[in-house]
Amino acid sequence: MKIAVLSRNPKLYSTRRLKEAGEARGHTVDIIDTLHCYMDITKSRPAVRYHGEELPQYDAVIPRIGASITFYGTAVVRQFEMMGAFCVNESVAISRSRDKLRSLQLMSREGVGLPRTGFASKADNIKDVIKTVGGAPVVIKLLEGTQGIGVVLADTDKAAESIMEAFMGLRANILVQEFIKEAGGADIRCFIVGNKVVAAMKRQGAEGEFRSNLHRGGSATLIKLSKEERATAVNAAKVMGLNVCGVDILQSANGPVVMEVNSSPGLEGIEQATEKDIAALVIEFIENKAKPFNNKTRGKG
C-alpha cells in the first residue's frame, strides 16, 4: 500500500514511528508537509499538488494536523477524501473534535460523562455561569488553547469573575468548568484505534500543578481501566467520528468524565508507558479498512 502521513515535521517521534511501522509491514510511506500541499479543485478530477508536482494516488492518509493549522489542514484532508484516499480520521471529525464547545455539546447530547460546563459571551452573565457549574474553584479554558495553555484554575468566585472579565475584554471565547478536585491533578489518556481502547496511561501533574500534560512536566504510568472508563472513552471517540484518537478522562466522584478528545494524539508518552507498538496497530487498522472512497463521516453534527 501507498500511505501518506500529513505532518509538518518528519523528525517528530509520532511521525517517525508511523513511517517505521508502515515500512516494517511492507508499505511505502511518504511524509508530506501539510502546509506545502496546495489544491487543484476542478470538475471530476480533484488533485493535491506538492512542490510543483501532482501527488500520486494514495491508498491511505494519516492526518497529523496541528491545532494551529486546523482550517487549512482539514481542507487538505478533505481534498484527499475527494480523491478517494482512505483517511484514518476524516476532515469533518477532526474539525468537530477541535471545536471544544461543539465537541462537548455533541457528547452531552449522547450521554457521555462530562464535567459541568458553562459558556457565555456577556460579562453580566458571569456570576450565574460560575454558580451554574457549582461555584469556585472552577477551571477557565480558552477554546483555542492546546497542551494546557490557556487553562486557568480560579480558587474563588471573585478570582473567576476577574479572569473571565479579562478574557472577555480581549474578546476571547472561554469555557468555565467545575474543578474535579478528587482527580488529584491526574487524568487518564485512553488511546483509541478502530473503536477499541488499545492502550491507556495515567498522567500525573507535577507537584503544585493541576494540569497533567506531559509537556508541562507531568509523568505517565500504566493503568488498568475500569469497564465504565473504557466505555466512556469508546463512546466519546464514536461521537466525534474518530478512528484514531486520544480521549482524556478524569476520575470524578460521579464516574469518569471526558475532558478532551484529541484527533492527533502523540505516540511517545503512551508507547513508553505501556510498551505497546501503537504505531503498528494504526497501520494494521489501515490494512483492514483502506478501500477507495471508504470515507463515511460517522456520528452527527
Q: Does residue 195 or residue 121 have the better pLDDT?
A: 195
Beta bridge partners of 2: 28
On the question of pLDDT at 208 being above 70, the answer is no
Residue type, 139: V
Domains defined along the chain, listed by start: 2-96 (3.40.50.20), 117-179 (3.30.1490.20), 182-288 (3.30.470.20)
On the question of pLDDT at 150 being above 90, the answer is no
Across 146-253, the runs of DSSP E, i.e. the strands, are 151-154, 174-178, 186-193, 197-204, 219-222, 244-252
Angle at 64 between CA 58 and CA 68, to 5 degrees: 130
pLDDT mean across residues, the chain: 90
Q: How confident is the model at residue 299 (pLDDT cuts 50, 70, 90)?
A: very low
Among 70-79, 273-282, 288-297, the minimum mean pLDDT is found in: 288-297
Report the C-alpha dihedral over residues 175, 179, 180, 183, rounded to 10 degrees: 100
Integer Cα distance of 278 and 75 in angstroms: 27
CB 206 within 8 A of CB 284: no
> How confident is the model over 101-111, as a mean pLDDT?
95
Which pTM does this prediction carry? 0.88
> How confident is the model over 49-54, as a mean pLDDT?
96
C-alpha cell read off for 53: 508536482
| Proportion of the chain above pLDDT 70, given as a percent | 92
C-beta atoms surrounding 67 within 10 Å: 15
Q: Between the ranges 17-21, 215-219, 269-273, where is the mean pLDDT highest?
A: 17-21
* CA 220 vs CA 108, 171, 188, 224, 258: distances in Å: 28, 36, 9, 13, 18
Q: How confident is the model at residue 42 (pLDDT cuts 50, 70, 90)?
A: confident
- The residue count of the chain comes to 301
* CA 228 vs CA 16, 22, 189, 191, 232: distances in Å: 33, 33, 14, 15, 6
On the question of pLDDT at 217 being above 60, the answer is no
Radius of gyration of the chain (CA): 20
